[in-house]
Chains A and B, each alone.
Chain A
């Protein structure tokens, strides 16, 4: 038994995390048995992949392809007439007997695995499993992430590739930093593949291109310090095109498959496609390179025009769901996705599904970012001593990408929503255990019991608050009073019924 544990100890934490994640994400994920928020778009798009119908959409197609794959493998809707789904791009009423389990399965499963990637990231950097396990609660038990993970939305799928890319980057970097394993060009290419996949779900993943910069910085740190520019340029001329090319190759390959699968045009829905491209589709020649070049051009044009046509944020609109990025870290402007009203024992009970973050998670992450910024300012402005250079560099890296994303997103004029904060939220969630590790460095190294208890207590607090807000996540009925108990801050703009 002892031998078994010593042999498999490193798998115990990831296995436990995966099981807990599955227990959080999977229960009743087929409910509600109706579409909400962007499922109205993604479910019809996924069905078009299944039925080989040509379509164009605002987001790249990989997410919808995987949603379609889930429906094919786990859908169980073989006897349901789903023709309505391919006749529209935005469905409001689906066939009443249709199960959503297949459409939602990929997001649920991939998000559960993402929690293991998150654990891996923290474990690689801190080399402390208990610390990584405690802080993985930030991802598993965040109400906003759980709502999106349990739906046929793109975020759970994108987060899988996003955390996968960060894990691969951190693993490569730590192997170099702690075990002197050289970073090879192959690793730039693999990182490019994963970033390409994340970008092929949603283009917001392009922020991950910064990982190449960081990987290059770690790889060539010795040359940078010596300012050996010849060596730097030689490496840069190989690594940069290789990384960029793999991202582009994967992105285009996904589109190639998407264009190839679109063999039918239904009810003359042509999405402003050019006559040349439509002609190729009608001829059934969808897998040729000519069709790909035409289809890619038209898809790109459609995505650009769609993005330009999205309205701007209008806070004067009474039902505006969008919000300014500046308020996202505090979960400002939550979104009521759907609600259903019942009367139980003469009392009105409403089943809500709201996009609201776990306040302990979101506020702690914001606190972590503020502490990190103070630390960085202290180091570079006031010249404070740094007690752990490597850890400090990791903090700089993840605080840096958090700030870069937020600055970039604030430049976008179209309306944006609270869930566009998920990516920086994850960067902040990685940063939080690092800043904790920095503050409690000696205690963490010594496996101090009090520090371990504190980390466990923090995780328990995250779980308790998640449980308290879970009726808004899982659509469990609440009376108005019970709803009001959860309405902690007016800036959340939680809307009761």
Chain B
């Protein structure tokens, strides 16, 4: 009986309006992610064809994201945040992040890029692809002692499709995104 009192045409319409409002609020609320890695994204005035070329920066933005998974639908973009670069062509992305290695071992870094990139650990070059290319992943290994290490990565997008990803793995363990803590590495 009490159910019938509340389940009127008016209350159904009210519920429908509330549901619609909630759906809209969910849809329009900006997505946020854990602030782990700071990216410096720089728009170049001239076209970029090589990661080491002279930079001619027009504007720079800084953004903090959770992990280096920046390939979304064939373009440079975060799966949740979308195109965080705001640009589509001719920009550099720089990452300079300190990690804490808990267990000394050989670590693999799986770097994927479209177009070029380089990766350095403690000032030592680990991996690079200097020019243009479609998205491809290359695996490079380095032995890391326990303690703090400075990881520096740079990426560039020239023209067309884009994307940048970085994963790591201790020895033969399953790889994790750069930014996700594991038993061996803390960000």
Which residues from chain A sit less than 8 Å from chain B, CB to CB? 343, 346-348, 360, 439-440, 443, 448, 450-451, 453-454, 457-458, 461, 464-465, 468, 479-481, 484-486, 488
Asked whether B27 lies within 8 Å of A457 as measured between CB atoms, the reply is no
Asked whether A480 lies within 8 Å of B86 as measured between CB atoms, the reply is yes
CB distance from B62 to the nearest CB of A (A): 9
A453→B10 CA distance, assembly (Å) = 9
CB distance from B183 to the nearest CB of A (A): 35
Which residues of A are found within 8 Å of B8, using beta-carbon distances?
Answer: 450
Asked whether B86 lies within 8 Å of A465 as measured between CB atoms, the reply is no
CB distance from B41 to the nearest CB of A (A): 9
Apart from the given pairs A347-B86, A440-B10, A465-B24, 20 other A-B contacts in the complex at a CB distance below 8 Å: A343-B59, A346-B59, A440-B9, A440-B13, A450-B11, A450-B14, A453-B14, A454-B14, A457-B17, A461-B20, A464-B24, A468-B28, A480-B82, A481-B81, A481-B82, A481-B86, A485-B27, A485-B28, A485-B30, A486-B28
A308→B36 CA distance, assembly (Å) = 61
List the 8 shortest-distance A-B pairs measured between CB atoms, nearest first.
Answer: A450-B10, A346-B59, A348-B86, A346-B61, A454-B13, A484-B82, A457-B17, A480-B86
A461→B14 CA distance, assembly (Å) = 12
A-B contact pairs, 12 of them (CB 8 A): A343-B59, A347-B61, A348-B86, A348-B87, A440-B13, A450-B11, A453-B14, A454-B10, A457-B14, A457-B17, A480-B83, A481-B81
Asked whether A439 lies within 8 Å of B86 as measured between CB atoms, the reply is no
CB closest residue in chain A, given B82: A484
CB closest residue in chain B, given A443: B10
Total contacting residues, chain B, CB less than 8 A: 22
CB closest residue in chain B, given A481: B82
Which residues of A are found within 8 Å of B17, using beta-carbon distances?
Answer: 454, 457-458, 461
| Secondary structure type dominating chain A contacts | helix
A461→B20 CA distance, assembly (Å) = 9
CB closest residue in chain A, given B83: A480
Asked whether B27 lies within 8 Å of A439 as measured between CB atoms, the reply is no
CB distance from B85 to the nearest CB of A (A): 9
A468→B30 CA distance, assembly (Å) = 13
* Cross-chain contact of A461 among B21, B82, B83 (Cβ < 8 A): B21
Among B8, B59, B86, B87, which residue has the most Cβ atoms of chain A within 10 A? B86
Which residues of A are found within 8 Å of B59, using beta-carbon distances?
Answer: 343, 346
Interface assignment of B47: CB less than 8 Å from any CB of chain A: no
